Amino acid sequence: MGMEIALSGVSRRFGGRAALSGIDAVFPAGRVSAVIGPNGSGKTTLLRILARLDKPDAGTVTYLKGGHPVADGISLMRKMTLVAQQPVMFNTTLRENVAYGLNARGIPREDVCERVDEALAAGDMAGLASARAATLSGGESQRAALVRAYALMPDAVFLDEPTASMDPDNTALAERLIMRMCEEHGATVVMVTHNLFQAKRLAGHVFFMFGGELIEYGETGRIFGRPEKELTSKYVSGEVVC
């Protein structure tokens, strides 16, 4: 079951620059949410804060499962995962990479093998299971990172431009994997993307950010069809916003 994630007044500064300013938002449980916006709008900072890799200077992030808050700590960290835009693959085989998170979570060995095999098959990477992860191409690494996340069956998964290095075929495969995480495992997916078509295809909700602020968010059909803010309207229609 996915987690609902609620942000209240979340701000983050780096030096004198505000990366995030007073973000109030709710990422619904068990749905795909797309975070869109131009470079430097704070999308990656937001993902890192959601994944507990960074702390906000002000504001709170609350994780709710079944309506109850989930306590902070390692148990919360083990309910979620993040796939970076340029994912790091450990210097082991692909199979060992996929198994790493399951072993870290203390999953029994026989279950680990089963889930690794299932994840590799889902990502069409079974043939590369014994390959050194370091030898994978950029697109394969991104797909492998998604497979690694898929194997964990997390309650929440944060994706930073998960298909940026992929060709159309691999993008389609990756998108199926993302949807399976959401539909089969009930994961809450928060995905940063510059691909508006991808946001339309996958997301139930869209969050538009600009200059560290959350300009507008809502259901995908409304954000793309009837945006309330002029800036959102310009961005989703492909105009340059700066």
Partner 1 sequence: MDTISQGTSEALTLLVSLDPGLYSIILLSLKVSCTAVFISTILGVPAGAFCALRRFPGRQAVIAALNTLMGLPPVVAGLVVYLFLSRSGPFGFMGLLYSPSAMVMAQSVIALPIVAALTRSSVASVDPAVRETAITLGASGAAADRRVVAEARQMVFAGIIAGFGRTMAEVGAVLMVGGNIAGYTRVMTTAIAMETGKGSFATAIALGIVLLMVAFAVNILLHLAQGGARTWAWR
Per CB under 8 A, residues contacting partner 1 are: 51, 53, 74, 77-78, 80-82, 84, 86-88, 90-92, 96, 100-101, 103-105, 148, 152
Instruction: For partner 1, give the closer residue by CB, 105 or 234.
Output: 105
Whole-number Å distance between alpha carbons of 40 and 36: 11
Least distance to partner 1 from the beta carbon of 146, Å? 13
Q: Give the residue from 176, 145, 182, 138 showing the smallest Cα distance to 160.
A: 145
Q: Give the residue from 125, 205, 132, 202 showing the smallest Cα distance to 162.
A: 202
Q: In what order do the strands lie in the sheet with 17-27?
A: 17-27, 4-14, 58-65, 68-69
Instruction: For partner 1, give the closer residue by CB, 76 or 231.
Output: 76
Q: What is the largest CA-CA distance in the chain?
A: 54
What is the identity of the amino acid at 150?
Answer: Y
Containing 113, the helix (H) or strand (E) segment is: helix 109-122
Instruction: For partner 1, give the closer residue by CB, 88 or 121.
Output: 88
Least distance to partner 1 from the beta carbon of 211, Å? 26
Least distance to partner 1 from the beta carbon of 85, Å? 11
Instruction: For partner 1, give the closer residue by CB, 74 or 240.
Output: 74
Least distance to partner 1 from the beta carbon of 49, Å? 13
